[in-house]
Amino acid sequence: MTQMSTDEENKNPSPNADLSRIVIGAAMKVLNTLRPGLDEKLYERALVIELTKQGIRCEQQKQHEVLYDGQLIGTLIPDLTVEDCLIVDPKVVTGFNDSHTAQMLGYLNITGFQTALLLNFKYAQLGIKRVSN
């Protein structure tokens, strides 16, 4: 549950850093309002409301085709796609693990996006993990 400090971001800004900051700020507002202990879908829906109020375009469960050798083999469905360039996955978990990171890397590879955010609403302090491709 670490968050990159502003100094670290300024030295080595991640792709979509400004948008990531807006999403993180909105997530903090959602967590401070709803408090920990709810189902992750409730935080997701509240985050969509908060981002929409700020003029940020986001889509829930947008389907992305997965192709192999030019043939459709399935779809990936991230929780939130923000401004068609950022994947956001709200969680209510004890801590992020390698499976969460691997899932985000899969989403990034299929979508061509550069950045994903894992957001953990389980505790009073928002857990944040940036995943970059």
> Is 60 a member of any domain?
yes
* Proportion of the chain above pLDDT 90, given as a percent: 86
Angstrom distance (rounded) from CA 54 to CA 23 = 10
> Is 1 a member of any domain?
no
User: Which stretches within 35-71 are classed as H helix?
Assistant: 40-53
Q: What is the pLDDT at residue 60?
A: 96
Paired tokens of 128: 């944040």
Given a cut of 60, whether residue 7 has pLDDT beyond it is no
Paired tokens of 53: 């109020």
**Burial of residue 116 (number of CB atoms within 10 Å: 0-12, 13-18, 19+):** buried
> What's the gap between Cα 61 and its chain centre?
12
Angstrom distance (rounded) from CA 87 to CA 79 = 8
Task: Identify the domain containing residue 107 by its residue range.
Answer: 6-132
Q: What is the pLDDT at residue 6?
A: 34
Classified as helix, coil or strand, 59 is: strand
Provide the domain count of the chain: 1
This prediction's pTM:
0.86
> Is 28 a member of any domain?
yes
CATH of the domain at 110: 3.90.320.10
The mean pLDDT value of the chain amounts to: 90
User: How many separate helices (H) and strands (E) can be counted in the chain?
Assistant: 4, 7
Given a cut of 50, whether residue 40 has pLDDT beyond it is yes
